[in-house]
Amino acid sequence: MKKHNQYETLFRKNKNTGRVIIDIALGDYMEFFNEWDNSAYKMRDIHSDLVRFLDLCSDYIPLRKKIEIVFSIETSKADKEREDSIRLSYSNYYNALKRLESRKVNRYIRMSMILLIISLVLLTSYGFFYEIQVETIGSLVLLESLLIGGWVFAWEAVHTLFIDIIEPVRRMREIQRFIEADITFVYPGSNNKETV
């Protein structure tokens, strides 16, 4: 919690939009991409160190704040085609991450529904067999097993639906903020500035 109070001292703010700015200095456009990925530019991954840096910065900035990513490129002039490649790669990367987290949330929801159904079956069976009132040791063990199993599955369903799901939902919100981020290119050696 303390680091969220420090973000104003660590990051600049865009006075026009109110967005928190994450500054990234690149020697050239190629530093944005993963050096081990030889696929076409449109499909290339973001450099893993850059992803870690963006995640670290995002941890410091409250989720309710919108962000702007400013790439400072040390080249003499802007290359619109390469800027578009970076924007496309960035968008593809974070949209793919969002799909993965969305699948994880859906998996948690499905799992909790299955656990809840199993719990209801066990507790209903307990209620049905409880009425028979057979007093053998085997029947008592079976009844207790149905009751305990029903409550264990019910607790696991609640835990999955309301506790385990918190982190992927928070991560989806964080990824959505990255998707909605403004991307700006600045060139310290010239007067060029590009914004999306």
The predicted model gives 165-180 an average pLDDT of: 95
Residue 141 in this model has a pLDDT that exceeds 70: yes
Residue 142 in this model has a pLDDT that exceeds 80: yes
pLDDT of residue 129: 81
Q: What percent of the chain has pLDDT over 90?
A: 64
Residue matched to tokens 């067999």: 129
pLDDT of residue 39: 58
Q: Which amino acid, 82?
A: R
Structure tokens at 76: 């003499």
Contact indicator for 121, 149 with CB cutoff of 8 Å: no
More reliable by pLDDT, 1 or 119: 119
pLDDT of residue 9: 85
Q: By C-alpha distance, which of 12, 53, 50, 57 is closest to 34?
A: 50
Residues 6+ apart with CB under 8 A from 173: 63
Residue 196 in this model has a pLDDT that exceeds 50: no
Residue 3 in this model has a pLDDT that exceeds 60: no
pLDDT of residue 115: 96
pLDDT of residue 44: 64
The predicted model gives 131-142 an average pLDDT of: 78
Computed on alpha carbons and rounded to an integer, the radius of gyration of the chain in Å comes to: 26
Q: How far apart are CA 115 and CA 152, in angstroms?
A: 9
Instruction: Tell me which H or E stretch contains 99.
Output: helix 80-132
Q: How far apart are CA 68 and CA 195, in angstroms?
A: 10
Residue 149 in this model has a pLDDT that exceeds 90: yes
Q: Which amino acid, 150?
A: G
pLDDT-derived band at 195 (thresholds 50, 70, 90) equals very low
- Extents of the domains making up the chain: 2-195
Q: How does pLDDT run across 25-83, given as a tens digit for each residue?
A: 998 888 888 766 555 555 567 888 999 999 999 999 999 999 999 999 988 788 899 89
Q: How far apart are CA 145 and CA 163, in angstroms?
A: 26
Residue 143 in this model has a pLDDT that exceeds 60: yes
Q: How does pLDDT run across 177-186, given as a tens digit for each residue?
A: 999 999 999 9
pLDDT of residue 77: 82
